[in-house]
Amino acid sequence: MTATATAQTTSPAFVPAPRWTIEALVALFELPFNDLLFRAQQVHREHHDANGVQLSTLLSIKTGGCSEDCGYCSQSAHHGEAQREALLETEQVVAAAQAAKDKGATRFCMGAAWRGPKDKDLDRVTDMIGAVKALGLETCVTLGMLKDGQAERLKSAGLDYYNHNLDTAPEFYNQVIKTHAQSERFDTIDKVREAGIKVCCGGIVGMGETRRQRASLLVELANMNPPPESVPINELVPMPGTPLENAPPLDPFEFVRTIAVARITMPGSMVRLSAGRQEMSDELQALCFLAGANSIFYGDKLLTAGNPEADRDEALFARLGLNAA
């Protein structure tokens, strides 16, 4: 299944990309499983090291007390159970970043539970970015929605990536989040791009959305100009006390299909296995790598959710012949 012939208008720095439609992506999702994985693997090998996986580590630098009501998040002040904690000191962040580097991570991501950062908090975060950058790591932050001028400050501090997920399809968004509109997320992504920072943007599946809505989310991502450099695909981890704590689990093969469709529609992006990996078997993760995933969060914890221990990941990589890239 191919995209429509209409091309995006783009700057000379980027190769024009086809516009994907929801119908085209639904057709990909509906391919026989083996055919879909075969096509995704072909695309993957054309654009990436077939056996290379990029390692990132994520640290919560400010936990709990977020004013937003995201239905999946235990850090929300509306329903979450995560204990509110103050912003970490730079020395604590640097120690965690050094430990991550020693374990093989090449990118260090820092997340704060805010609607958006205040300027006084951004002063401290920019110090963290500079200190982590000095260790030779790529830097990434996820700080919520940015105001005018804040992305430029992050760029000046040496930030490489800004994470701001779309979370879900536009037509499903208000069933998950009501304190802000998805358009505000697009506004922040535009600010990040304009500042010259690379975009890390993906979503969460398994929140009760339909297959067509999963396709709709991926269409929004694939039709960005350019698509995000990093695309984290999260599987919902139902957190106690949140509105989605009893969400039914997503069929594992449907998750693999989502990875494959992301790879086909965003061939140059790093597709990252993110939240939910702790609950995945080694066999399921292997299928995800076959489908085109080539990045993982590496370490013991993702903000407030667990993550496979580094030793388990190293053993899995050895069994599959994968290399940290």
Angstrom distances, CA of residue 317 to CA of 49, 96, 256: 14, 23, 18
162: left (phi over 0), alpha (psi -120 to 50) or beta: beta
Distance CA 61, CA 92 (A): 9
The answer to whether residue 201 is catalytic is no
Q: Residues 39, 73, 185, 214: which is the catalytic one?
A: 73
How many Cα neighbours within 13 Å face the side chain of 183? 1
- Tokens encoding 114: 């805010």
Nearest Cα to Cα of residue 109 among 301, 306, 319, 313: 301
Q: Residues 66, 214, 277, 288: which is the catalytic one?
A: 66
3 state DSSP class of 193: helix
Q: Residues 107, 257, 272, 277: which is the catalytic one?
A: 272
Q: Residues 140, 185, 201, 257: which is the catalytic one?
A: 140
The answer to whether residue 70 is catalytic is yes
Sequence-ordered list of residues with C-beta below 8 angstroms from that of 323, at least 6 positions apart, any chain: 49, 51, 52, 53, 317
The answer to whether residue 66 is catalytic is yes
Q: Residues 39, 70, 124, 201: which is the catalytic one?
A: 70
Q: Residues 107, 109, 153, 185: which is the catalytic one?
A: 109
The answer to whether residue 109 is catalytic is yes
Catalytic annotation, residues: 66, 70, 73, 109, 140, 200, 272
